[in-house]
């Protein structure tokens, strides 16, 4: 069991660049969540998918953020253009709909200079 896989683990980019974060959920899990963790705001839910369909994106901070889940085994979170205030740790989590525990990936630490 590989768990939730996120890549890259660390990303350093310059303001204005496009950033793409990737997540592979646990096989068989059909819901996927993207979170952002910052010192100021703690852990925030950005968006979640069920059966590859976005259900609630009310936590996405602005139009610069977008997320996709083209299939059951892959999701991306894209920031374009990136800004220094986007610097944070981004977590992906997955869950089986009939279950109640979200399994978290190790996170991607994003630094926007």
Partner 1 sequence: AQSVTQPDIHITVSEGASLELRCNYSYGATPYLFWYVQSPGQGLQLLLKYFSGDTLVQGIKGFEAEFKRSQSSFNLRKPSVHWSDAAEYFCAVGVPTGGGNKLTFGTGTQLKVEL
For partner 1 (CB under 8 A), the number of binding residues is 26
Check binding of 102 to partner 1 (CB under 8 A). Answer: yes
Q: List b or e across 78-96, with b for residues whose CB sees 16 or more CB atoms inside 10 angstroms.
A: ebeebeeebbbebbbbbbe
x/- mask, partner 1, residues 30-69, rule CB under 8 A, reads xx-x--------xx-x--xxxx---xx-------------
| Burial of 9: CB neighbours in 10 Å, binned 0-12, 13-18, 19+ | exposed
Q: Give yes or no for residue 107 binding partner 1 (CB under 8 A).
A: yes
Q: Does 72 contact partner 1 by CB under 8 A?
A: no
Specify the residue for token string 């590989």: 2
Q: Does 25 bind partner 1 (CB under 8 A)?
A: no
Pairing relation of β-strands 10-13 and 108-112?
Answer: parallel
Query: Please, are residues 51 and 61 in contact by the beta-carbon 8 Å criterion?
Result: no
Residue 2 in contact with partner 1, rule: CB under 8 A: no
Q: Which residues of this chain interact with partner 1, rule CB under 8 A?
A: 4, 30-31, 33, 42-43, 45, 48-51, 55-56, 91, 93, 95-97, 99-102, 104-107
């Amino acid at each position: 069991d590989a768990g939730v896989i996120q890549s890259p683990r660390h990303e350093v980019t310059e303001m204005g660049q496009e950033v793409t974060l990737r997540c592979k959920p646990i096989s068989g899990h059909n819901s996927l969540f993207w979170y952002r963790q910052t010192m100021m705001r703690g852990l925030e839910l950005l968006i979640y998918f069920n059966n590859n369909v976005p259900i609630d994106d009310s936590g996405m901070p602005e139009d610069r953020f977008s997320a996709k889940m083209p299939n059951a085994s892959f999701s991306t979170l894209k920031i374009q253009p990136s800004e220094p205030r986007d610097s944070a740790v981004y977590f992906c989590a997955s869950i089986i709909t009939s279950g109640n525990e979200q399994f978290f990936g190790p996170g991607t630490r994003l630094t926007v200079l």
